[in-house]
Amino acid sequence: MAEGSKESRKNQIRVVDEVPTEVVRLDVERVGPLKKKGGMSEAVLAPEIESTPQENSSEEIPDTENLFDPEGEWSEFEKGADADLVPMGWFVLLVVGLFCVLGWVIFQTNIGDSGDDLIDVKVANQLVGRDLERSKGADANKNERLAAEIHFNKMEKVLTEFLDAESLEEMVKWVRHPERVTPLMESYYARNPIEPLAFKSTKKYHSVSLENIPFIALEVKVKEQEEGVPILIEDRPGGMLVDWESYVCYLPMDPEDLAKSRPTDLMELRVYAQRDNFYTYEFSDESEYDCFRLNFRGSETTLYGFVKKGTTLEREFLKEFPLLTDDYRKAAIIKARFLEGSKATRSMLIEGLESTKWAFPHNPQEITENKSSK
């Protein structure tokens, strides 16, 4: 048995007579394919290090055919990875998840549709309500337009009757403050004839409020002239009436007669006023007086009025006429007189500012009576 065993070992072991040479094995580490970057392993992305064997070195140069083959290694890994990383169980879970998501979307869509239907009903109700409101608003607007037309027609009737009047008795029916104004009308038409005008149409219409009293400022067309006629009407609850004083721009005498006669009595004058610097004779001291140029409607006559400085009246005038410019040329009712024996033939002393309009919003006679009764 021992001899057979020895014989067998001889057959398995080959005896080499050559002197063995030391061999250093180069272990090339297998780089895991998970350490990839941009689709290639990090080992592949790293630069190659070329090693040149030293002379008389016993180190063997490895065979390049047996080095790491990146493309082959990566393709083999991908095949293995596809099989190992995505098992069939994941496919089942993925399909179930997709069905769950699809069902949830369908459910939410149905809810959204129902909600939209409800919203549409609300919107429809709102639209119906708006239509009803619009219908009511349209009826209200229609009524307002109808009332405005009736009011406008009444106004034009008053204008027609007033302008067409041939006598003072006919005219005074359509005039405000008749008790106070009738004597003024008698004085005016004693100097100027009544000239009836045929009303054609309303050219301009503007509602104004004077001291909380409603008025209508108009410019009307008449057959007798091309130029429009300005008229102011008080819109009273009991009926509309014409402001006659502003219509004729009432003065106690004509501007030309006023400049010639130079009355020393205090007079109420409707003028255009603006600041000026025409200082002369008795009114030559600028430190004592403020100067105002006075013009009259329909006349070329110019007079100058002076207000004493440091008075309440001066403060009232400077409030209405703050600057020396044509922009502050205003209509006004003033109280003024000529000085007796004055050398300033066109200069008057102003002693009152009655109104910054040519109309009195309130009846001055009633105001005076109320003050005297107190």
Lowest mean pLDDT among 52-61, 141-150, 170-179, 346-355: 52-61
pLDDT reported for residue 220: 96
CATH number of domain containing 226: 3.10.450
For CA atoms 276, 277, 281, 284, the dihedral sign is positive
Within a domain: 140:
no
Q: What is the pLDDT of residue 282?
A: 92
Say whether both 274 and 323 belong to one domain: yes
What confidence score (pLDDT) does residue 238 get? 87
How far is Cα 355 from Cα 364, in angstroms, rounded to an integer? 11
Range of the domain at 236: 162-248
pLDDT, mean over the chain: 76
Asked if residue 35 has pLDDT above 50, the reply is no
Q: How confident is the model at residue 367 (pLDDT cuts 50, 70, 90)?
A: confident
Which is more confident, 26 or 169? Answer: 169
355 in Cβ contact with 363 (< 8 Å): no
Altogether, the residues listed in the chain come to a count of 374
Minimal CA–CA distance to 275: which of 312, 311, 310, 319? 319
Longest Cα–Cα distance of the chain, Å, equals 180
Amino acid of residue 329: R
Measure Cα distances from 96 to 91, 249, 262, 358 in Å: 9, 99, 114, 94
Residue 89's pLDDT is: 59
- Tokens at 163, concatenated: 């302008």
216 found inside a domain? yes
26 falls within a domain: no
Rounded mean pLDDT, 51-64: 42
Backbone angles phi, psi at 157, to 5 degrees: -65, -45
pLDDT digits (tens, 9 = 90+) for 326-363: 667 899 999 999 999 999 999 999 999 999 999 999 99
Q: How far apart are CA 292 and CA 322, in angstroms?
A: 11
CA distance linking residue 311 with residue 332, whole number of Å:
19
Place of tokens 């106690």: 252
Same domain assignment for residues 233 and 269: no
Same structural domain for residues 262 and 244?
no
Quick one: 237 and 303 in the same domain? no
pLDDT per position as a tens digit, 157-216:
999 999 999 999 999 999 999 999 999 999 999 999 999 999 999 999 999 999 999 999
Residues 234 and 280 both lie in one domain: no
Domain stop point among 248, 269, 301: 248
Average pLDDT over residues 234-246: 94
Domain count, the chain: 2
**pLDDT given for residue 365 in this prediction:** 83
Could you tell me if 277 and 338 lie in one domain?
yes
Determine the average pLDDT of the residues in 357-372: 83
Q: Are 251 and 258 in contact (CB under 8 A)?
A: yes
Q: Is residue 67 assigned to a domain?
A: no
pTM exceeds cut of 0.75: no
**What CATH number does residue 346 fall under?**
2.40.50.140
